Chain A
Amino acid sequence: MMMKKNQPKQSYYVVEECPACGYKAKRGFRDGDYVFKESGICPKDNTVMYISMIFSEEEKRS
């Protein structure tokens, strides 16, 4: 017998951080992302940003 589980759905996010000015941007996780991977350009000073954290959050029920 298979059991059905009623767990809240998780979404995964990454935070990109600019090493020069400290600007941070949050976006959804994409396959191949990992912490400290270079990702994106800082809109403030055009420096290459890096992923400073990846985390899960429960999806809010609408």
Chain B
Amino acid sequence: MSTAAFSPIFGFVPTSPLYFVLYMLLIWVPYIILIIYGQKLQSYSIMADVARYLNRLKYDAEQSRENLMSYLQRKGVGGDGQKSIESMIEDVTITPVDMDPVGIVKKMELILRTQEESVKSRIKSIMKDANEVERAAVANMLEIASALTLVYKVIRHYYLLGRKFPDNIYLLAQLQMILPGLVKQADAYLGAMGALEKSLPLGDGIGPMIVGKFMRGSEKIELDDETVYAEYLYKGRTVAFLKAKGPMASVGHVDSGLKRLLDGPYADVKAIIMIDAALKMEGEQSGEVAVGIGAAIGGIGVEKFNIEEEASRRRIPLYAVIVKESIFEAISVMTRAIAESAENARKSVLDLIERSVPEGEKCIVIGVGNTMGVAQ
């Protein structure tokens, strides 16, 4: 029997029948085992990988809880108060039914406002001697701890389901695919807790920072307990700069603030300009500034809906100035590249005002984002 056929593939030429049998066993037995048990072996390998990421999510969830408790202790909150706030980590928010989506935004808004007010009032009743900045920090830390706990529980649920049915490799493979990005985001959220403790500005705070600079030195008028605006004259145009009230951690209520201005002294504005941090694509530079059309605001979509609704009803053009950054930069302490981009964005805003608002007319500029560590 010719053995030449083996040579080019494996570089081995069996010289006796025994070698030939051994050779066949060595090649074919593992091959057959892989054909029969390959999927199971792969699912065990994926499960080990998922378990590793799950441990990391568990660490993030536990650490966020510990960070919150130690912050409360440092602020003089006693054992009962700590327990009460810790119990709020597990609170659930039930989203409205979406079978008939007409009017769902208003329902969602009610649920979110109720949740926000409930958390704020409970924290206020526990932290009676704390200032606004500390209470806002606790509310935001609580939100992070809740989110990380929920993410850990959801991933654990699917991991345990996958272990129960190891033949369902696709369930596990989906988990394995999303987990690296998810863990990186969870780490960034945990890192943001350190920023909250010190009230350091986040990357997301670039919008309020740009607007805050225009407001500096002007009289600030409160539209509600978390939203402020100031009037600024620029080359014959009257501009209302609107942002969340800082320097405590808050995104304010810019949609309802805008509505109040449009219902009151700014009914005849020629433009609404929104400044926000926006997610960059891979390959783009952090801190790059872009100008566009539309409502620049993230979140669940309630504020975006309300702003678009008001603007379209009154036929007011919406413009956007965005500062590009990654999701990790948006929820971490502001980097130098992003902070330094504020000047470019400021120039873009002034340029946009000159181009889109005639002299003697009015416009509104909104700084969107969390204003933690940024006053006005």
0 or 1 for each of B22-59: is its CB under 8 Å from A? (1 = yes): 00000000000000000000000000000000011001
Does the CB pair B340–A53 fall under 8 Å?
Answer: yes
Give chain A residues whose Cβ lies under 8 Å from the Cβ of B342. Answer: 53
Does the CB pair A34–B338 fall under 8 Å?
Answer: no
0 or 1 for each of A24-56: is its CB under 8 Å from B? (1 = yes): 000001010111110000000000001011111
Interface size class on chain B is 20 to 34
A-B contact count (CB 8 A): 69
Q: Does B373 contact A (CB under 8 A)?
A: yes
Does the CB pair B56–A3 fall under 8 Å?
Answer: yes
Does the CB pair A12–B333 fall under 8 Å?
Answer: yes
How far apart are A5's CB and chain B's nearest CB, in angstroms? Answer: 7
Q: Does B247 contact A (CB under 8 A)?
A: yes
B198, B201, B333, B335: the one within 8 Å of A31 (CB)? B198
Q: Does B187 contact A (CB under 8 A)?
A: yes
Does the CB pair A3–B55 fall under 8 Å?
Answer: yes
Cα A33 to Cα B201 with chains together (Å): 10
0 or 1 for each of B180-191: is its CB under 8 Å from A? (1 = yes): 000000010000
Does the CB pair A56–B247 fall under 8 Å?
Answer: no
A3, A10, A35: the one within 8 Å of B375 (CB)? A35
Q: Does A59 contact B (CB under 8 A)?
A: no
0 or 1 for each of B158-193: is its CB under 8 Å from A? (1 = yes): 000000000000000000000000000001000000
Does the CB pair A36–B198 fall under 8 Å?
Answer: no
Give chain A residues whose Cβ lies under 8 Å from the Cβ of B246. Answer: 34-35
Does the CB pair A54–B212 fall under 8 Å?
Answer: no
Q: What residue of chain A has the Cβ atom nearest to residue B62's Cβ?
A: A2
Q: What residue of chain A has the Cβ atom nearest to residue B57's Cβ?
A: A3
Does the CB pair A5–B187 fall under 8 Å?
Answer: yes
B199, B216, B335, B340: the one within 8 Å of A34 (CB)? B199
Does the CB pair A54–B339 fall under 8 Å?
Answer: yes
Residue of B212, B246, B334 with most chain A CB atoms under a 10 A cut-off? B334
How far apart are B52's CB and chain A's nearest CB, in angstroms? Answer: 9
How far apart are B37's CB and chain A's nearest CB, in angstroms? Answer: 28
Does the CB pair B333–A56 fall under 8 Å?
Answer: yes
Cα A55 to Cα B287 with chains together (Å): 13
Cα A36 to Cα B246 with chains together (Å): 10
Does the CB pair B373–A35 fall under 8 Å?
Answer: yes
Cα A61 to Cα B156 with chains together (Å): 38
- Known contacts A2-B59, A29-B200, A50-B216: A37-B333 contact under CB 8 Å: no
Does the CB pair A36–B212 fall under 8 Å?
Answer: yes
Cα A3 to Cα B152 with chains together (Å): 15
Contact surface of A with B, Cβ cutoff 8 Å: 1-3, 5, 10, 12-13, 15, 19, 29, 31, 33-37, 50, 52-57
In the assembled complex, 28 residue pairs joining A and B whose CB atoms fall closer than 8 Å, in A order, are: A1-B55, A1-B59, A3-B55, A3-B59, A10-B333, A12-B333, A13-B336, A15-B339, A19-B217, A29-B198, A29-B200, A33-B373, A34-B201, A35-B246, A35-B373, A35-B375, A36-B212, A36-B374, A36-B376, A52-B213, A53-B209, A54-B339, A55-B333, A55-B334, A55-B335, A55-B338, A56-B200, A56-B334
Contact surface of B with A, Cβ cutoff 8 Å: 55-56, 59, 187, 198-201, 209, 212-213, 216-217, 246-247, 332-336, 338-340, 342, 373-376
